[in-house]
Amino acid sequence: NLVIPEGITVIEPGTFAGCDELESIAFPSTLERIADAEYDENGSAKFGVFFKCSSLKKIVIPGNVKYIGTYAFNECWALEEIVLEEGVERIMEGAFKCPMLLYGVVTKMYIPASVVEIHPESFVQWSYVDVSYAGTVEQWYALMPDTQIWVHCADGLAPPK
């Protein structure tokens, strides 16, 4: 189990990559950003902050974290539930990308109405995930106009477009 100390404002790329025994994370109230992945000379993502943390089952990202960077939780094979608290604003490309999602490992994700940007490929291979969004259907479609997943919104169900 990991407790990130108070005073940390950014977690840099690859900091916890490959921590395959990491089961839980406690984020500090000072954390503002989970950094983007590092990229190689060809422009391919090498690894994100929590790349291949294969024992991580649930993450709760507090609202003080405004930005979840590219490929931050890429290939976290055991991840079942993702909770983003009110205050989170940006979810970048591949933030929760995992080929195993195709088989329904992640079953639940909670997205607050405070989110103002979701990269379209944050939800790659998420057809079996139960997504709940705290905003309205209209707000969801403003964020994700070409959504390919069903989303439970505060005022009803938003079907794929």
Q: Could you read off the pLDDT of 74-129 as tens digits, one per residue? A: 888 888 889 999 999 999 998 988 755 444 467 788 999 999 999 888 865 566 67
Hey, how many other C-beta atoms are within 10 angstroms of the C-beta on 101? 21
Q: What is the mean pLDDT of residues 4-12?
A: 97
Distance (Å, whole) CA 55 – CA 113: 29
